[in-house]
Amino acid sequence: MTAAPLLEVSHLRVEFPTRRGTLLALDDISFSIASGEILGVVGESGAGKSLTGAAIIGLLDPPGRIAAGEIKLTGRRIDNLPYEQMRRIRGKEIGAVFQDPLTSLNPLYTVGRQLIETITTHLDLSATQARVRAIELLASTGIPAPEARVDHFPHQFSGGMRQRVVIALALAANPRLIVADEPTTALDVSIQAQIIALLKKVCREQGAAVMLVTHDMGVIAETCDRVAVMYAGRIAEIGPVADVIHRPAHPYTVGLMGSIPAMDEDRERLLQIDGAMPRLTAIPPGCAFNPRCPHAVDRCRAERPEIAEVGATHAACWQPVAVEALR
Amino acid sequence: MSTHLVEVQDLAKIFDVSPPWLNRVVERKPKAFVHAVDGVSFGIERGRTLALVGESGCGKSTVARLLVGLYGATRGAVRFDGEDIAKTLGGSGAQKLRRRMQMIFQDPYASLNPRWKVLDIVAEPLREHGLVKDAAEARRRVAELLSSVGLNPADAEKFPHQFSGGQRQRISIARALATQPEFLVCDEPTSALDVSVQAQVLNIMKDLQRERGLTYLFISHNLAVVRHVADQVGVMYLGRLVEVADKAKLFSTPRHPYTRMLLDAIPDIHMTGRARTPVQGEVPNPLNPPSGCSFHPRCPLANARCKAERPALLEFKGVRVACHAVEEGRAA
């Protein structure tokens, strides 16, 4: 992590103007990813994790817009680029993998045609060379008989195989950053394990950085180097994955970890966080987590905590949970 | 065996997925059948939880629907408290039997009528079974039911869209509890929920089981959740049970190669950076299942016998396993 960050997001703020006022969907998000690093972004539905990914690849759905902050890729700002320039970066320098492999592929084109289109758009290769590369890509993502499969249509692939095709597409132009939004959520566990192994392999072999958005802490624990925990459009805690899981500092992270049924211990009851995440229209003042927090004090209800170093991780909390309190 | 509230014997459900008659004639396509559930037998003791796990398409939800009579079985029988449910549901005792078993569905957004108030949703089974005399009594019972699942009695006047996913699932549980059933079939009750909300719902389900002595059939694809709620676990693969064991035994010493694969495939938060060799291959097409043991194309222990002969579910050191390798002692 001593290398200069490949992706740097600072004070990112995403708003959705609506008739009833402006919704603050992402509020002061800052993090960075180094080359070859896998950063996990975890949180419950509506926490803003997919939106963070969409903002980075420049695919925010209108009326959503970046209201403040910067996104830098290899030192260059990419959040304010015109559409055409961003289109060249997307695919070439940033690859994207989405949750549903069926909707991210065009059902009317063979996978080969879709791969070749991406390759010739971003790389200076002839159609024949591009086809060779397409077959190589399919082979590198573990698709058996790639020479034959390249001429098949998406519906002829199973879910896991389709997700491999989508990963091959994302890798087509050797991107430096891959944004993977819930890449394994639609898949069965045995297939999920294969896709995770594949993502780790390409990250290691190509030195690409990966931003892995998921709600599954197990996937994060197995795959990532660092993890950011999001809550109500803010980062609650960010740090090395082992520290966040075993020595979390933010009460929300503690609750989140406790609510996951463990495979290696028996508990009569799961730790539960009462209530639900606030809607974006009704984020409480101060710390967004304060109504559900067992440790909340007056300051939490009035003042918003900045993210600061707590032990081995960084957490946005006025009352970071002491390690002893967890045991 | 008499302690079993629910007993399932050689249960099978075959779906006809043939193309329409004209296509069969013109294109000379054969009739096609999916053996969604293919000879499943198990029992659930009163007050206990049996969980069925497996990947999509293994037939676990079909078993759930067969158990409450939403599908008719092609073969085999479900006995509830000693009575064959197929007979009872066709006869005069149907109403009485339905009162004793209820179901909780996976999607809390689809299983509640969006045009009905929570009061009407939860009171429907009460009215249907004639358990309340008038509107005032219904209102009182609904308030009790809502508070038993941790909701505010005043929520009865709201509509489903005013609730979050976890709260909706509680409404489904309240509705299922309305007739004071003994047996609840829960088909993936928490898989549409976020983890912190899942914990709330699982805790409520465990509390209710303890208070009311409920018997659960719990369907899930999440082994960690199953480990938390179940007493016994059945692992399904392509319509068949491959292993049935007590929870502790299944998780400490899994016998069937498929169970081992499933357990190995789960990412676990306590195993950071674990290096794994994921099992290759995918679930075969149920329209055209492999011969013999349906797991043999993916199984590291498969031999000629596995390809030819279908293994039976046999008792082996206190667990029931359908595997030639385990039977012959080839599985270490």
Q: Given an 8 Å threshold on Cβ–Cβ distance, is B267 in contact with A241?
A: no
Residue with tokens 């049970």: B241
Distance CA B222, CA B51 (A): 10
Confidence of residue A115 (pLDDT cuts 50, 70, 90): very high
Residue A306, judged by CB atoms within 10 A of its CB (0-12, 13-18, 19+), counts as: exposed
Q: Given an 8 Å threshold on Cβ–Cβ distance, is A188 in contact with B166?
A: no
Residue A279, judged by CB atoms within 10 A of its CB (0-12, 13-18, 19+), counts as: exposed
Q: Given an 8 Å threshold on Cβ–Cβ distance, is B55 in contact with A188?
A: yes
Q: Where are the beta strands (DSSP E) in A159-294?
A: 177-181, 209-214, 226-231, 234-240
B176-191: average pLDDT: 91
Whether chain A has a CB inside 8 Å of the CB on B162: the answer is: no
Q: Which residue of B has its CA nearest to A214?
A: B194
Residue with tokens 């993890």: A227
Interface test with A, best of B164, B196, B203, B228 (most A CBs within 10 A): B196
Distance CA B326, CA B314 (A): 10
Distance CA B259, CA B326 (A): 12
Prior bond of A63 cis (ω within 30°): yes
Q: Nearest Cβ partner of B271 from A192, A222, A271?
A: A222
Best CA proximity match to A10, nearest among A91, A86, A77, A89: A77
pLDDT tops 60 at residue A252: yes
Distance CA B208, CA B251 (A): 25
What whole-number percentage of chain B has pLDDT above 70? 95
Q: Where are the beta strands (DSSP E) in chain A?
A: 5-18, 21-34, 38-42, 65-73, 76-77, 94-97, 177-181, 209-214, 226-231, 234-240, 308-310, 313-315
Distance CA B231, CA A231 (A): 34
Enter the tokens of residue A225.
């180097």
Q: Given an 8 Å threshold on Cβ–Cβ distance, is A190 in contact with B268?
A: no
How many structural domains is chain B composed of?
Answer: 1
Whether chain A has a CB inside 8 Å of the CB on B228: the answer is: yes
pLDDT tops 70 at residue A59: yes
Amino acid at B136: A
Q: Residue B209: which CATH number?
A: 3.40.50.300
Best CA proximity match to A280, nearest among A64, A57, A32, A58: A64
Note the pLDDT tens digit of each residue in A273-315. Answer: 887 788 888 888 889 999 888 888 888 898 889 888 888 889 9
Q: Nearest Cβ partner of A262 from B166, B224, B274?
A: B224
Note the pLDDT tens digit of each residue in B15-29. Answer: 988 888 888 889 888
What is residue B120's DSSP assignment?
Answer: H
Q: Given an 8 Å threshold on Cβ–Cβ distance, is B203 in contact with A196?
A: no
What is residue A200's DSSP assignment?
Answer: H
What is residue A251's DSSP assignment?
Answer: H
Contacts of A192 in chain B (CB under 8 A): 265, 267
Q: Is residue B126 part of a domain?
A: yes
pLDDT tops 80 at residue A230: yes
Whether chain B has a CB inside 8 Å of the CB on A273: the answer is: yes
| Structural domains of chain A, ranges and CATH numbers in brackets | 5-224 (3.40.50.300), 251-326 (no CATH)
User: What interhelical angle do A111-122 and A159-171 show, nearest 10?
Assistant: 10
Higher pLDDT, A191 or B158: B158
* DSSP per position, A284-301: PSSSTTGGG-TT--HHHH
Q: Where are the beta strands (DSSP E) in A43-136?
A: 65-73, 76-77, 94-97
pLDDT tops 60 at residue A268: yes
pLDDT tops 70 at residue A322: no
Best CA proximity match to A141, nearest among A81, A93, A97, A80: A97
How many Cβ pairs closer than 8 A exist between chain A and B?
Answer: 130
What whole-number percentage of chain B has pLDDT above 90? 42
Cα dist from A152 to A195, A246, B218, B266, whole Å:
21, 46, 39, 31
Note the pLDDT tens digit of each residue in B206-254. Answer: 999 999 999 999 999 888 889 889 999 999 999 999 999 999 999 888 9
Q: Given an 8 Å threshold on Cβ–Cβ distance, is A45 in contact with B166?
A: no
Pairing between strand A5-18 and A65-73? antiparallel
CA A57, distance to chain mean position in Å, is 11
Q: Nearest Cβ partner of B266 from A218, A223, A276?
A: A218
Give the pLDDT confidence score for residue A323 in this predicted structure.
Answer: 47
Please state the ipTM of this predicted complex.
0.75
Distance CA B327, CA B70 (A): 36
Q: Nearest Cβ partner of A197 from B166, B224, B278?
A: B278
Q: Given an 8 Å threshold on Cβ–Cβ distance, is B269 in contact with A262?
A: yes
Cα angle, residue B194 at apex, residues B211 and B120 outer, rounded to 5°: 60
- Spatial contact of A237 and A313, defined as CB atoms under 8 Å apart: yes
Q: Is residue B325 part of a domain?
A: no
Give the pLDDT confidence score for residue A40 in this predicted structure.
Answer: 94
pLDDT tops 90 at residue B52: yes
Give the pLDDT confidence score for residue A177 in this predicted structure.
Answer: 92
Give the pLDDT confidence score for residue B277 in this predicted structure.
Answer: 58
Q: Nearest Cβ partner of A263 from B202, B227, B272?
A: B227
Interface of B with A in 15-74 (CB under 8 A): 55-56
Give the pLDDT confidence score for residue B2 in this predicted structure.
Answer: 54
A161-178: average pLDDT: 90
What is residue A7's DSSP assignment?
Answer: E
Confidence of residue B11 (pLDDT cuts 50, 70, 90): very high
Higher pLDDT, A160 or A117: A117
pTM for the structure as a whole: 0.82
Residue A11 CB partners (closer than 8 Å, separation 6+): A28, A29, A30, A68, A69, A70
How many of the other CB atoms lie within 10 Å of CB of A243? 18
Interface test with B, best of A42, A141, A272 (most B CBs within 10 A): A272
| Per-residue b or e along B247-281, where b marks 16 or more CB atoms closer than 10 Å to that residue's CB | bebbbeebbbbbbbbbbbbbbbbeebeeeeebbeb
Whether chain A has a CB inside 8 Å of the CB on B192: the answer is: no
User: What interhelical angle do B135-148 and B118-128 show, nearest 10?
Assistant: 110
Whether chain B has a CB inside 8 Å of the CB on A143: the answer is: no
Distance CA A91, CA A150 (A): 20
Note the pLDDT tens digit of each residue in A122-134. Answer: 999 999 999 999 9
Length of chain A: 327
Give the pLDDT confidence score for residue B139 in this predicted structure.
Answer: 93
Confidence of residue A238 (pLDDT cuts 50, 70, 90): very high
Distance CA A99, CA A104 (A): 8
Q: Is residue B291 part of a domain?
A: no
Interface of B with A in 249-268 (CB under 8 A): 251, 261-268
Q: Is residue B306 part of a domain?
A: no
pLDDT tops 50 at residue A324: no
Which residue range(s) make up the domain with B195?
4-238
Confidence of residue B276 (pLDDT cuts 50, 70, 90): low
Distance CA A115, CA A127 (A): 11
B261-273: average pLDDT: 72
Whether chain B has a CB inside 8 Å of the CB on A263: the answer is: yes
Pairing between strand A21-34 and A5-18? antiparallel
Note the pLDDT tens digit of each residue in A30-56. Answer: 999 998 899 999 988 888 888 999 999
Whether chain A has a CB inside 8 Å of the CB on B83: the answer is: no
Q: Is residue B276 part of a domain?
A: no
Best CA proximity match to B35, nearest among B60, B14, B17, B54: B14
Q: Is residue B25 part of a domain?
A: yes
Give the pLDDT confidence score for residue A327 in this predicted structure.
Answer: 43
Distance CA A88, CA A98 (A): 19
Contacts of A196 in chain B (CB under 8 A): 267, 278
Interface of B with A in 267-296 (CB under 8 A): 267-274, 276, 278-280, 282-283
How high is the mean pLDDT of chain B?
88
What whole-number percentage of chain A has pLDDT above 70? 96
Enter the tokens of residue B114.
């969006």
Cα dist from B156 to B119, B146, B151, whole Å:
4, 8, 9
pLDDT tops 50 at residue B194: yes
Whether chain B has a CB inside 8 Å of the CB on A221: the answer is: yes
Enter the tokens of residue A231.
């809550």
Note the pLDDT tens digit of each residue in B74-100. Answer: 999 999 988 888 888 888 888 889 999
Q: Is residue B103 part of a domain?
A: yes
Distance from CA of B195 to the nearest CA of A (A): 6
Interface test with A, best of B168, B242, B272, B277 (most A CBs within 10 A): B272
Residue B104's DSSP bridge partners are B186
Confidence of residue A240 (pLDDT cuts 50, 70, 90): very high
Q: Is residue B105 part of a domain?
A: yes
